[in-house]
């Protein structure tokens, strides 16, 4: 919220409270609100810290709270899930055609983050977090945006010391003076267009209702139906089908030996265990980074090497120092991730059974 809008909201509230007694006396309805009633309703926190309660919360505590209360919509690392808002990322995108507006890239005041979490979150159970818990969650959001370090503790005392990246990106709303020359009392009724014509349909803009999209899908299906293809296309396809198939290159001997060495039953068991990992990781053809990185080819490869994925600092450092995910290293990590690598972003507690770990590793090796 800009400073100007904040001023308007405060002025409107003051005007309402001032008018309250007068209206009550005039209409004979109600009574002026008591100070304690106003205090219970007036929970907002201002950019200058006014309204902040006593308390504090660490990034470490905030991570656990975020996983429990926020990750279902915003992802374990504040990267967003589906169409739910992304709270982290977007640095340097505000000038792009499609900017990513997050707490780190766009929000100018930390008070807005604290105030929103305090009053509106968690979704469906708002105002159930204590002030200390709100401080912790906000600290974790800051950490997810690389604004603070992982040992940071946010409190009322250091709240204003946090520098938001876009703090200077907002200006006071001066339209009352800067744009006054555009205003006029009477609407202009001169030089109007004689006719108005439709120049483009929504279908072209791809902002069509569902029924139109369904029609597009049907058109695509019809286009792929062999019965609807022109005769020339059918003849060409028949000629291609008659050509001898090109020989595929033989698989390399090491790859074939590796595949043969895998126990099919163990791989199958690993696929079942991997269901615990699917919430964050994908593996195989077409896999994409999610909350966690793609795991295709991870066995025997360097740590922190997945493209376009933001690892935790300890994981990045381990990769730079030459950590290779051998079967032994993966086994140790999957057993107790946080014990293996302190301050890793891996929120999963670990697999308790050695057999499950061995099965998952076999399953991952099947995708090399």
Same structural domain, 20 and 99: no
Q: Does a structural domain hold residue 357? A: yes
pLDDT of 232 over the 70 cut: no
pLDDT of 242 over the 80 cut: no
314, 341 Cβ separation under 8 angstroms? yes
How far apart are the two ends of the chain, measured CA to CA in Å? 50
Rounded distance between C-alpha atoms, residue 220 and residue 168, angstroms:
49
pLDDT digits (tens, 9 = 90+) for 187-214: 778 888 888 888 877 655 554 444 444 4
Q: What is the 3-state secondary structure (H, E, C) of 99-130?
A: CCCCCCCCCCCHHHHHHHHHHHCCCCCCCCCC
pTM: 0.48
pLDDT of 254 over the 80 cut: no
- Range of weakest confidence among 255-259, 264-268, 343-347, 355-359: 255-259
Task: Please report the pLDDT score of residue 280 as a whole number.
Answer: 77
pLDDT digits (tens, 9 = 90+) for 63-111: 999 988 998 899 888 989 888 999 999 999 999 999 999 999 999 999 9
Q: Does a structural domain hold residue 209? A: no
What is the domain-level CATH number for residue 89? 1.10.760.10
Same structural domain, 2 and 72: no
Beta strands in the chain (DSSP E): 56-58, 153-155
Same structural domain, 343 and 281: yes
Q: Does a structural domain hold residue 185? A: no
Helix (H, G, I), strand (E, B) or coil at 58: strand
Residue 151 DSSP class: T
Task: Please report the pLDDT score of residue 251 as a whole number.
Answer: 42
- Range of weakest confidence among 30-39, 92-101, 231-240, 256-265: 231-240
Q: Does a structural domain hold residue 54? A: yes
| Number of domains present in the structure of the chain | 3
Q: Does a structural domain hold residue 190? A: no
- Range of weakest confidence among 108-112, 216-220, 299-303, 350-354: 216-220
Same structural domain, 52 and 26: no
137, 117 Cβ separation under 8 angstroms? yes
Q: Does a structural domain hold residue 222? A: no
pLDDT digits (tens, 9 = 90+) for 308-360: 888 888 888 888 899 999 999 989 999 888 788 887 877 676 787 888 899 88
Q: Does a structural domain hold residue 220? A: no
Task: Please report the pLDDT score of residue 178 as a whole number.
Answer: 87
Q: How high does pLDDT run on average in the chain?
A: 80
Same structural domain, 29 and 51: no
Same structural domain, 173 and 80: yes
Same structural domain, 7 and 65: no
Write out the residue range of the structural domain in which residue 31 sits.
Answer: 1-42
Task: Please report the pLDDT score of residue 4 as a whole number.
Answer: 45
Task: Please report the pLDDT score of residue 212 as a whole number.
Answer: 42
Same structural domain, 3 and 120: no
Q: How confident is the model at residue 227 (pLDDT cuts 50, 70, 90)?
A: low
Q: How confident is the model at residue 21 (pLDDT cuts 50, 70, 90)?
A: low
Same structural domain, 291 and 174: no
Task: Please report the pLDDT score of residue 226 as a whole number.
Answer: 55
Q: Which of 121, 145, 179 is the last residue of a domain?
A: 179
Helices (H), 43-94: 59-69, 71-74
* CA dihedral (354, 356, 359, 364) positive or negative: negative
Same structural domain, 83 and 153: yes
Same structural domain, 62 and 160: yes
Task: Please report the pLDDT score of residue 186 as a whole number.
Answer: 79
Same structural domain, 28 and 50: no
Q: Which of 155, 179, 203 is the last residue of a domain?
A: 179
Q: Which of 179, 213, 245 is the last residue of a domain?
A: 179
Q: Does a structural domain hold residue 239? A: no
Q: 58 φ, ψ to 5°? A: -95, 160
Cα angle, residue 333 at apex, residues 331 and 339 outer, rounded to 5°: 135
């Amino acid at each position: 919220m800009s400073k100007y809008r904040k001023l308007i909201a405060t002025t409107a509230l003051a005007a309402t409270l001032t008018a309250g007694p007068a209206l009550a006396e005039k209409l004979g309805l109600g009574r002026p609100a008591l100070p304690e009633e106003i205090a219970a309703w007036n929970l907002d926190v201002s950019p200058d810290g006014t309204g902040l309660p006593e308390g504090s919360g660490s990034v470490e505590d905030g991570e656990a709270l975020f996983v429990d209360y926020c990750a279902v919509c915003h992802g374990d690392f504040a990267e967003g899930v589906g169409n739910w808002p992304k709270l982290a990322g977007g640095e340097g995108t505000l000038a792009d055609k499609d900017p990513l507006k997050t707490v780190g890239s766009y929000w100018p005041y930390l008070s807005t983050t604290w105030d929103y979490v305090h009053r509106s979150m968690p979704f469906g159970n708002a105002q159930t977090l204590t002030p200390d818990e709100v401080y912790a969650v906000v600290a974790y959001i800051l950490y997810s945006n690389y604004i603070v370090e992982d040992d940071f503790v946010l409190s009322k005392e250091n709240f204003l010391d946090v520098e938001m990246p876009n703090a200077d990106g907002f200006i006071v709303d001066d339209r009352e003076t800067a744009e006054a020359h555009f205003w006029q009392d009477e609407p202009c009724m001169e030089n109007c267009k004689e006719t108005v014509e439709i120049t483009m349909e929504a279908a072209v803009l791809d902002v069509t209702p569902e029924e139109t999209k369904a029609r597009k899908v049907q058109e695509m299906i019809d286009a792929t139906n062999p019965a609807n293809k022109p005769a020339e296309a059918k003849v060409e396809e028949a000629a291609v089908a008659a050509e001898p198939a090109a020989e595929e290159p033989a698989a390399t001997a090491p790859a074939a030996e590796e595949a043969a060495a895998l126990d099919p039953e163990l791989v199958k068991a690993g696929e079942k265990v991997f269901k615990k990992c699917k919430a964050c990781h994908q593996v195989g053809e077409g896999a994409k980074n999610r909350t966690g990185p793609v795991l295709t080819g991870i066995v025997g490869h360097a740590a922190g090497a997945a493209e376009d994925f933001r690892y935790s600092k300890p994981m990045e450092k381990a990769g730079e120092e030459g950590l290779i995910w051998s079967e032994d290293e993966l086994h140790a990590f999957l057993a107790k991730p946080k014990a293996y690598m302190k301050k890793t972003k891996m929120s999963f507690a670990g697999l308790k059974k050695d057999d499950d770990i061995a099965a998952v590793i076999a399953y991952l090796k099947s995708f090399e």
